[in-house]
Amino acid sequence: MTRVLIFKEPDAFGVVEINAPIERIIRAVNQGRWEAYLPDAKGPLFARKQGDIVVITRSAPVPEEDLPKLSRREHQVLVLLGEGLTTAQIALKLGLRPRTIRGYVANMKARLDAHNIQQLVARAVALGLFKPEL
């Protein structure tokens, strides 16, 4: 079984398991033949592999040079947000002030045009900036 993360909207996603190899799913989706695996999905869709999962979005990937750049610390904060930690918990874990963490989050939300933390994490995953542990 292959885990598939499907982004239906920029901040709405679902997880399904499909009984097919990763490469076959990616090839079918990228060739416009996703109905066999995702009959309710509306296209056009784009699929890519991230670790052991397939991420499906409604558009082609953003070129590497156009991706927002995150600092090492921002990436750490993003990963911890993706794990469900609060800004206070992240601050404690990283030995920083909560205000500093909120600053990192605000900067990332502005760069990714996100209005809340859930949207920030979802957009980061869709852009390939963050690989969720499912």
Per-domain boundaries in the chain: 2-57, 64-127
Cα-to-chain-centroid distance, residue 120: 9
Compute CA distances 14 → 20, 23, 27, 56, 104, whole Å: 18, 20, 20, 10, 27
Q: How much is the pLDDT for 98?
A: 96
pLDDT in the model for residue 52: 79
pLDDT at residue 53, rounded to an integer:
83
Rounded Cα–Cα distance for residues 8 and 42 (Å): 8
Supply the pLDDT for residue 9: 67
- The CATH number of 64-127 is 1.10.10.10
Separation between Cα atoms, residue 112 and residue 13, nearest integer Å: 17
Per residue of the chain (134 residues), what is the pLDDT tens digit? 888 878 776 667 778 888 889 888 888 888 788 787 888 777 678 888 877 788 888 765 666 666 788 999 999 999 999 888 999 999 999 999 999 999 999 999 998 888 889 888 888 877 778 776 65
Q: Give residue 63's pLDDT.
A: 63
